[in-house]
Amino acid sequence: MKLVKLEVFTAEPPCAGCVALLELADKVQENFPEVKVIKHIGMCDEFVQYKITYVPATIIEEGRIEMMGLCPSYDTIAAALMEMGVKNDKS
């Protein structure tokens, strides 16, 4: 099974949208065993690598799908993961 990488980026300290994204990332990790969730809190090299200009931000599969400046809904993340071939949603 190939893991799909989902990276979330937040500010430090996290704003309300960033807190919501961190909680959403936990829910995704529980419901999608084929997804590897990586949380980046505060500035890091990946901010520059992905050219992130706004947080919260969500990056799937190293930039194949990007969402910046908002916390997407669970359904939006699930749809994006399905586009990447992930089918094991347990919810």
As a whole number of angstroms, the distance between CA 16 and CA 89 comes to 26
Nearest to 83 by CA among 69, 66, 24, 10: 66
Query: Tell me, what's the pLDDT at 50?
Result: 95
pLDDT tens digits along 37-55: 999 999 999 999 999 999 9
**Fold exhibited by the domain 4-83:** Glutaredoxin (3.40.30)
Q: Would strands 35-41 and 4-10 be described as parallel, antiparallel, or unpaired?
A: parallel
Give pTM, 2 decimals: 0.91
As a whole number of angstroms, the distance between CA 1 and CA 11 comes to 32
* CA atoms within 13 A of residue 6's CA, in its CB half-sphere: 26
